[in-house]
Chains A and B, each alone.
Chain A
Amino acid sequence: MTAIHLHPSELALLFSFAKVTEIVGWGDAPFQPGADGTGDMAAWYADGTARLKAAGRLVEKADKTVTFVPSLTEATLALVDPALVMMAERKEGSEGLRRLTVHLSDDALVGLTRQADGMFELTRYANLTAAAAACAAFLGTAPLPVTAGLKLETDMNNLRVMQTLADSGQQETALARLIDLGAPEAEAASLLNAMTAPSASGMLSLLYCADNVARNAQAYRVMTHAESDTWITTALGSPQGPMVIERSSITALTGRIMVTVAARMQLAA
């Protein structure tokens, strides 16, 4: 669970050794010099090298060759060649988001966030449970376990209509639609609160990757109201197909992620 902080130039240097410039969930811009990515690459790499050396992460081996420390090597491999990326994006204001990605490779689970000072924080997770729990917590899900679960089935169109109704003040109509889907009144009210006035909301994307490219994606909308009620919506298959609305929590979402990933990976095997 140790976290290390790396400057973008250090990451750019590491990625260059794997012949990779883009990282799933981030693209290449955050690791390029200058705001528009047109800065001096040579100076950028030199800066990255100097930082890694100073931090003792670029070391000399007994055979007099130079290499990166094993923990950094392992983390880099997960970042440049993941099998799965869990991307948690928490909504911040109307046009902003905070992002955590967790990259899963054969040997490592590495989380990546960018901090306000521009440094990246790399966190090594012990296992999938820890990584999934981190993503759920990052999205502000309710800490208390779900005691009375509820799951509703709908589709994207219906969900859009309900959102529009709720946003435009037609709460009663939206409530009636939710009750029609099978939600008890109190639950429907809680869901509407989460949809219209969340204390935290965001999106969790499970990105199934090969060759450092996301080949398929599964996304969850996560909404929490007043820290106690978390609701998620997700398309089970295609975006046009069936959608599920479900009461959730940090542990419920963690469990869902673990089982979904295990099942999906088994299907693809």
Chain B
Amino acid sequence: MTSNIERIRAAETVIPQLQDQLKTLREEALADDGQVDAEERVDIDRVADKLSSVMQAVATALQDWTANKAAYDVLRSGLETRIKDVAANTLPDLDQDKRAIAQLVAGLDQVAGAEDYAAALELCHKLETYLDSFESEVESARLDAMPPEQLAAQDLTQCDLDTLFTEDYMTDLADTHFPGEGTEKLADLMTEIENGVSGERRAEVMAALSEIHEGSPTAGEFDADYTRFLVLRKQQDAIGDKNNCGDMEKLDEDKHPDFRGSRSQLMFGKVVGDAFDIHEIFAALLSPTGGLIGAGNQFVGDIDSPHWDAENPISLHGTVHDAAGYLKSFHEQGPGYNYRDNFFEGLATDAIECLPPDWQAELLPYTGQLSGGGYWIWETGGEFTQAKLDEVALALEEGLTDARDDAAKEAARMLGEVEKAKQEMIKTADQARKDAEAGLDQARREVETRVQQAERDLRDLADQAEAEVMGACDAAQQAAESVGRSAVEQYEEAAAEFENMTQDACDTLDAIADFIWS
């Protein structure tokens, strides 16, 4: 049953005919002998079933038609202003797009005039996509006309960048595959795009990209993204110049012949593309070496397979690191290389979960009360800040005295229990050795039993103890032993190595370190 109202209405006219037919059949059946025999029953049921089926189909079609009409009316009315804006636009470069939209609107009006709202709704969605692309082109043209310093000041991101650098986002990225990734066709198209395409060739390239993506996005959508890509590249140059970032590094195809169009490059493009709401292919080309796997990669290839695993978290880290840095350096957007969200939150939770519940209860109220002071710990400046920091630290020190004492007692208990068990084992083993030396069978049997029991006891103890009990003991023992094996560094050289510290952190350490090593 179609949603076209004419056909629905035609179907509706069948209903009274079937009702009449059913009535006649019943009357005729009863007219002979006042009863409906089996043969007559078959005919009556057949018509009754058909009537029921037609009524249900008409009701469903009417319901769909009404819903489609309502949705269409809402969508279409929302597009009216945008359609008028397109008609009023005078940019000559967009004439072709204007014509395409006008044709689509005419076709849509025709379909809507025939009251086929299912088809009209579909066309309306298509029109919406066309309008999005058109408006993006108009906006890109407006941005393109700006002088570089004005363009540099624009925020061209289209999303909250905090959502881009989350653990969840990185996990999803690891599972993302891209149409055409790693193919020569895509690599060739990307080379062309990087060098610039125009006129008929531009349309062909966009159509080819759409074909690789099986029609979605459309060639028109790719084209709008390409226009925005050109604007972004212009902004990148403007901000790069301002910040003395130098020219954008070109991809060395001789050194990295497989990189263009690779999954790694498109992963980088995905992050940047999500920021600017453009396709990853164009976003990747904003920084052609973005996502290029580590410098050591070229030495990995000769194993058996030349392809590095793009999903390895280390290289994913490098890719997202590149994207965050690019957005900050060349568009002055986002958190920069410090890209992780809930960075401390997660760790704080982990650290607190290390503690038994009663310690947590003790700790949390203090940290909650002092959370306002947390800001001062991470931001520095001035005597007031220092005084505030000291005040907070002192309060925390006092507030957590009991928690520290408990933690120390627990650590002592852990170390003590394992040590005690070890001593028991040694004692039992010594006794066993002595008994065995006595050569008495009976004694030996008893000894063996005792040794076995001791082993079971120790195993039970290990099972009962939490993993951290054994871990902490082993770690302490191993660390104490490793002191003798570890290299002796020169203090002066060691101090010079702390390059990756902020000045505040260095100042704090220097004050103590000078004191200790002076």
A: residues with CB less than 8 A from B are 1, 3, 12-19, 22-30, 41-42, 45-46, 48-49, 53, 58, 60-61, 63-68, 73-74, 76-77, 80-81, 83-84, 88-93, 95-100, 104, 106, 111, 113-116, 118, 121, 123, 125-131, 133-138, 140, 143, 145-146, 149, 156, 159-160, 163, 201-203, 205, 207-208, 210-221, 234-242, 244, 249-252, 254-256, 258-269
Contact = CB atoms under 8 A, between A and B. Distances in A.
Nearest to A256: B404
Contact of A73 (B312, B467, B494): B312
A76 to B, nearest CB: 5
Nearest to B407: A255
10 contacts: A14-B314, A60-B304, A66-B301, A83-B344, A95-B492, A106-B346, A121-B486, A239-B508, A254-B408, A259-B407
Contacts of B505: 207, 214-217
A241 B512 CA distance: 12
Contacts of A156: 511, 515
A263 B400 contact: yes
B293 A17 contact: yes
Contact of A66 (B309, B346, B492, B508): B309
Nearest to A211: B338
Contacts of A12: 296
B471 interface: yes
Contacts of A140: 480, 483
A91 B363 CA distance: 33
A255 B411 contact: yes
B489 A97 contact: yes
Interface in B341-356: 342-352, 354-355
B390 A238 contact: yes
B338 A267 contact: no
Given A113-B487, A259-B355, 13 more contacts: A18-B315, A65-B310, A67-B312, A115-B485, A133-B475, A215-B505, A216-B502, A237-B392, A238-B508, A263-B366, A265-B347, A265-B348, A267-B367
A45 B295 contact: yes
The prevalent SS among residues of A at the interface is mixed
Contact of A219 (B315, B374, B477, B508): B508
B305 interface: yes
A130 to B, nearest CB: 4
Given A17-B314, A138-B482, A236-B393, A66 B307 contact: yes
Contacts of A260: 400
Contacts of B468: 126-127, 129-130
Contact of B307 (A64, A123, A239): A64
Contacts of A46: 299
A182 B293 CA distance: 60
The prevalent SS among residues of B at the interface is helix
The residue in A66, A114, A140 that gathers the most chain B C-beta atoms within 10 A of its C-beta is A66
Contacts of A163: 515
The residue in A145, A216, A262 that gathers the most chain B C-beta atoms within 10 A of its C-beta is A262
Contact of B487 (A63, A118, A211, A259): A118
Interface of B: 167, 293-301, 303-305, 307-315, 317-318, 321-322, 336-340, 342-352, 354-355, 359, 363-364, 366-367, 370-371, 373-374, 377-378, 386-387, 389-394, 396-397, 400, 403-412, 414-416, 467-468, 471-480, 482-483, 485-494, 496-502, 504-509, 511-513, 515-517
Contacts of B352: 262, 265-266
Contact of A134 (B293, B300, B475): B475
Interchain residue pairs A-B with the least CB separation, the first 7: A27-B497, A255-B407, A241-B390, A255-B408, A265-B348, A239-B511, A237-B393
B5 to A, nearest CB: 54
B374 A250 contact: no
A269 B339 CA distance: 15
Given A19-B318, A97-B489, A99-B494, A259 B309 contact: no
B474 A1 contact: yes
A119 B232 CA distance: 47
Contact of A259 (B400, B490, B513): B400
A65 B226 CA distance: 32
Contacts of B411: 129, 133, 250-252, 254-255, 258
B498 A27 contact: yes
Contacts of A22: 499-500
Contact of B309 (A65, A115, A235): A65
B509 A217 contact: yes
B501 A214 contact: yes
A218 B508 CA distance: 7
B314 A89 contact: no
A205 B322 CA distance: 30
Contacts of A104: 347
Nearest to A123: B478
The residue in B305, B314, B508 that gathers the most chain A C-beta atoms within 10 A of its C-beta is B314
Nearest to B353: A262
Contacts of A13: 294, 296, 299
